[in-house]
């Protein structure tokens, strides 16, 4: 059995984040929002917020998916990682089309991060006892 799934999910999360960053750069040009400004055009601000919110989610996701996968269940951790990536796509697509449509993706990624964090913590506490 190959155990490259966790590494692949991690790299895909970084690629996803990088693509969102490139989209911010393109939106900056399209909507004429000069650096270092991050406000001024509502369309640009959507791209910026998607990128920033993804970073905020990644700060939790990356260590949590590794701890969960190595402490609880590798396959479930990788599957949750894939769902996280899809949830961020859903979030970005919703937010960029209409901010009120961001909730399903935001809720999905928050729920996945919660499962990863609490599952990993629980496994580590059980092991420590």
pLDDT for res 3: 78
Domain parsing of the chain, residue ranges = 5-128
In contact, 84 and 64? CB cutoff 8 Å: no
pLDDT for res 47: 97
pLDDT for res 2: 61
The first and second tokens of residue 34, run together, are: 């000069």
CA distance 123 to 6: 18
CA distance 124 to 58: 21
7, exposed or middle or buried, with CB in 10 Å at 0-12, 13-18, 19+? exposed
Q: Is 1.20.120.550 the CATH number for 5-128?
A: yes
Residue by residue, pLDDT tens for the chain (129 residues) are 467 999 999 999 999 999 999 999 999 999 999 999 999 899 999 999 999 999 999 999 999 999 999 999 999 999 999 999 999 999 999 999 999 999 999 999 999 999 999 999 999 999 999
Q: What is the pTM of this model?
A: 0.94
The first and second tokens of residue 77, run together, are: 């951790």
pLDDT for res 88: 98
Whether omega for the bond prior to residue 66 falls within 30 degrees of 0, making it cis, is no
């Amino acid at each position: 059995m190959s155990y490259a799934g966790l590494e692949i999910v991690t790299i895909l999360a970084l690629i996803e984040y990088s693509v969102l960053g490139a989209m911010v750069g393109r939106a900056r040009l399209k909507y004429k929002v000069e650096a270092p400004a991050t406000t001024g055009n509502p369309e640009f601000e959507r791209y910026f917020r998607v990128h920033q919110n993804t970073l905020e989610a990644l700060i939790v996701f990356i260590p949590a998916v590794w701890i969960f996968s190595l402490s609880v269940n590798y396959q479930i951790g990788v599957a949750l990682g894939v769902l996280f990536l899809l949830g961020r796509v859903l979030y970005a697509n919703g937010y960029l089309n209409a901010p009120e449509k961001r909730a399903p993706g935001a809720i999905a990624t928050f729920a996945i991060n919660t499962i990863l964090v609490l599952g990993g913590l629980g496994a580590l506490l059980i092991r420590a006892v």
